[in-house]
Amino acid sequence: MAGSQNIGEASDNPVAINVTAMVDVIFCLCIFFMCSFHFKQLQGKIETWLPKDRGIFQGTAASIVKDEICIVLRWDPSQRATLCNVRFQKPASSDDELMQSVLAIAADYDRAGNTTYPLIIDSHPDVPWQDVIHVMDLCKRNKIQRLEFAAPERAIE
């Protein structure tokens, strides 16, 4: 009886299509995409600026910004660690100590009505990039938005 048959059954259509080859191809495609698939890690960015109107490549500066916070990073080969300090201060022993020093200077600038001071990252070339990013991350987490990089001691020619 025709009414008891399902739609798409072989008896509906006398031309039988062999789907085995198609299944094989789809399996292969599935395996290819599964193997090449890797879950996307959230990649983002930390915004920074290079000095726009001063520095070694921009000629003489019309005005020099004096209010800034400078974090110095240098690599200590004996300890195999990065030493960080606010300029003219002793190396900080922890992230908290470093940020306390930074925030104390920032609070002074805020009290003086200066809200546009940059935080300059002055890193030695040997310092691992991860440590530089770590310091930038700490600053961003403490709401210090304007990060800049110090120009090198010598121009690369």
Partner 1 sequence: MSRSKLQVQEEISPNLIPMIDIMFLLLLFFMLGADMGQRELEEVMLPKALAVKEDREEPGGRKNDKLVVNVYHRYDGEAAACVPYKNGDVCREKKHWRIGIRGRDFTDLKKLEAQLKIEADPLRTAPAAKLSSGQALPPSDRTVIVRADASAPYGYVQEVMNTCAKVGIYKIECGAARPPDSELKGLSASGKG
Query: Site residues (CB under 8 A) for partner 1?
Result: 8, 10, 19, 22-23, 26-27, 29-30, 33-34, 36-37, 40-52, 55-59, 73, 81-82, 84, 92-95, 98, 123-134, 136-137, 140-141, 149, 151-152, 155-156
Indicate the residue among 108 and 124 with the shorter CB distance to partner 1. Answer: 124
Indicate the residue among 3 and 59 with the shorter CB distance to partner 1. Answer: 59
* Residue 6 C-beta: closest distance to partner 1, Å: 8
* Residue 28 C-beta: closest distance to partner 1, Å: 10
**Are 74 and 61 spatial neighbours (Cβ–Cβ below 8 Å)?**
no
Task: Return the bridge partners of 76, or none.
Answer: 81
**Are 69 and 106 spatial neighbours (Cβ–Cβ below 8 Å)?**
yes
The secondary structure of residue 56, as a DSSP letter, is T
Indicate the residue among 69 and 84 with the shorter CB distance to partner 1. Answer: 84
**Are 73 and 127 spatial neighbours (Cβ–Cβ below 8 Å)?**
yes
> CA-CA distance, 30 to 36, in Å (whole number)?
10
* Residue 111 C-beta: closest distance to partner 1, Å: 25
**Are 151 and 51 spatial neighbours (Cβ–Cβ below 8 Å)?**
yes
